[in-house]
Chain A
Amino acid sequence: MEATVKDQVVSAEKPQLEAPPGWQPVIMGILCNWCSYAGSDLTGTSRTQYPPNIRIIRVPCSSRVDPWFIIKSLQTTADGVLVSGCHPGDCHYITGNYYARRRFLVTKKLLNFVGLHEDRVQFSWVSAAEGAKFAQVVAKVTGAIRKLGPLHLYKKENRSQ
């Protein structure tokens, strides 16, 4: 039985941390059903290419996104998180995204405060008609995370390595 001893070497957030060869960033995408998810669907049907690193989860509204989901994603396999919702004023549930953007701001600042680079967690407003924008957003976020390298800070350790 192996104990987790409290005197480990610190693994501070460093860009260009040894990314293993062939490493691909894993981005957790949390998209609201009515706008962003539909928008991403449009990207697909328009045959617009975007980096395949994003794993999409559909939620009814961006305000469903508990900061807990973002933290869990970063703690497990994600190197970055993208949360996307409807533009303010266009929320299917009228006011959901107004509440959401408050949470987003506080979450982003707190994660930066504890040592995660601010590009690790990003947010966007993508409407159902903005297929092209979705592709651009994903490309931008993936590029930023690729530059930052794999996330090691605070990662849950339960792989064989």
Chain B
Amino acid sequence: MDYTNQIREIAARLLSENRIDVFIGYRKTGFDENHLPAFITHPNATGDLVFTEKSGFNLTNYLKFEHTRNKRVGLVVKGCDSRALNLMLTENQVKRDHIYIVGIACEGVVNEQGEKAQNCLECVMPDPVVHDEILGVPSGKRDYQANSDVKELWQKDLAERSRFFEEVFESCIRCNACRHSCPLCYCAKCCIDQETSTLYHGANTTSSAFHALMTWSLHLAGRCVDCRNCEKACPSHLPLHLLHKQNEQVIHEHFQGHLAGMVAQDRGAFYKYNLNDPDDFIL
């Protein structure tokens, strides 16, 4: 999967025609084959841009206010990235006419070891669901697959699961990289960071990590697109996808097969309801 030349050409055209102020894409690190996000503001600098299966980071994260405030942005998005973008548009975080979307019909990204990423193996939508221009041939929606790690954990009993997650929460350093790299976490100040609240717990303990990660995943439930920005960002390598995929599974199973961001103007799962939603668990 290599769209390097096309991306360079599109970026150069958009910048020289002054249709955008900045083009956000990927560049090489300069010493190995991995890719990093890049902000290109000049048409002559577009030679740095690349796009291959190493281009993993979800760039829609940079549409948050503090990164590209009021700028016109050209952006490269893959399938999952475009779903996040859809949600950001629906939730009024981005103006549609301020962005030029280059969609890639994605064939999956690989990690640093060259293996296909887990979320790509379980991908439901490799094609961009919103775009101004598309590169590659769309292959269509795929069947939803339950995440294998979540399934495996459910085989274990309660005590084992609690031991596993206690280990996870203990290793969290509360750096908040997960929140900052997630495109859908755009709150100017996170609810759990409000120091004046009695609900604040800023110390780095197992309990505060439980509180932070659980609240975060539940606020993201029905909106997470499984791009794995969070997991790749985590310096403690926590398996954050377990929480999000667990929520996604429950939502997909019980709420009419809802998946985040697949359709334009479609809100997250918690912003809709169905009269037949299950409530047999309610006394």
Q: How many A-B residue pairs have CB under 8 A?
A: 146
Question: Are B279's CB and A101's CB within 8 A?
Answer: yes
**A105-B250, A154-B207, A155-B207 as given contacts; A111 in contact with B283, CB under 8 Å:** no
Q: Could you say which of A19-27, A40-48, A49-57, A115-123 contacts chain B? A: A115-123
Q: Which residues of A contact B207 (CB under 8 A)?
A: 75, 154-157
Complex CA gap A61/B208 in Å reads 28
Closest residue of chain A to B154 (Cβ to Cβ) is A113
Closest residue of chain A to B249 (Cβ to Cβ) is A109
Complex CA gap A37/B113 in Å reads 57
Question: Are A72's CB and B162's CB within 8 A?
Answer: no
Question: Are A109's CB and B250's CB within 8 A?
Answer: yes
Question: Are B273's CB and A13's CB within 8 A?
Answer: no
Complex CA gap A103/B218 in Å reads 8
Please pick, from A68, A95, A106, A157, the residue contacting B215 in the complex, using a CB distance under 8 A. A68
B interface: dominant SS = helix
Q: Which residues of chain A in 93-127 are interfacial with respect to chain B, using CB atoms and an 8 Å cutoff? A: 95, 98-99, 101-117, 122-125
Please pick, from A68, A107, A116, the residue contacting B199 in the complex, using a CB distance under 8 A. A68
Question: Are B165's CB and A137's CB within 8 A?
Answer: no
B214 within 8 Å of A (CB atoms) = yes
Q: Which residues of A contact B167 (CB under 8 A)?
A: 10
Please pick, from B203, B206, B250, B282, the residue contacting A8 in the complex, using a CB distance under 8 A. B206
**A68-B218, A75-B201, A114-B210 as given contacts; A6 in contact with B170, CB under 8 Å:** yes
Contact pattern, A 120-139, Cβ under 8 Å of B = 1, otherwise 0: 00111100000000000100
Question: Are A125's CB and B282's CB within 8 A?
Answer: yes
Question: Are B273's CB and A102's CB within 8 A?
Answer: yes
Please pick, from A6, A101, A113, A115, the residue contacting B277 in the complex, using a CB distance under 8 A. A101
Rounded to whole Å, the gap between the CB of A117 and the closest CB of chain B is 6
A59 within 8 Å of B (CB atoms) = no
**A67-B218, A115-B162 as given contacts; A154 in contact with B210, CB under 8 Å:** yes
Rounded to whole Å, the gap between the CB of B99 and the closest CB of chain A is 30
Please pick, from B203, B270, B283, the residue contacting A124 in the complex, using a CB distance under 8 A. B283
Question: Are B282's CB and A104's CB within 8 A?
Answer: yes
B12 within 8 Å of A (CB atoms) = no
Q: Which residues of A contact B204 (CB under 8 A)?
A: 4
- Interface size band for B: 35 or more
Complex CA gap A75/B170 in Å reads 15
A11 within 8 Å of B (CB atoms) = yes
Question: Are A124's CB and B282's CB within 8 A?
Answer: yes
**A72-B199, A156-B207 as given contacts; A110 in contact with B162, CB under 8 Å:** no
Q: Which residues of chain B in 221-244 are interfacial with respect to chain A, using CB atoms and an 8 Å cutoff? A: 221-222, 242-243
Complex CA gap A114/B254 in Å reads 20
Most B CB within 10 A of own CB, among A67, A98, A105, A113 = A113
Most A CB within 10 A of own CB, among B153, B246, B282 = B282
Some 5 contacts from A to B, beta carbons below 8 A apart, are A12-B166, A105-B254, A106-B251, A110-B214, A155-B207
Other 19 A-B pairs with CB < 8 A, given A12-B163, A101-B273, A101-B282: A6-B171, A12-B158, A67-B218, A68-B191, A68-B219, A71-B210, A71-B211, A71-B214, A103-B218, A106-B250, A109-B247, A110-B218, A111-B214, A114-B161, A114-B162, A115-B162, A115-B165, A122-B283, A154-B166
Q: B residues bordering A, Cβ < 8 Å?
A: 150, 153-154, 158-167, 169-171, 191-192, 199, 201, 203-208, 210-211, 214-215, 217-219, 221-222, 242-243, 246-247, 250-251, 254-255, 269-271, 273-275, 277-279, 281-283
Q: A residues bordering B, Cβ < 8 Å?
A: 4, 6, 8, 10-14, 67-68, 71-72, 75, 88, 95, 98-99, 101-117, 122-125, 137, 140-141, 153-157
5 tightest CB-CB pairs across the interface, nearest first?
Answer: A115-B162, A98-B273, A124-B283, A67-B218, A154-B210
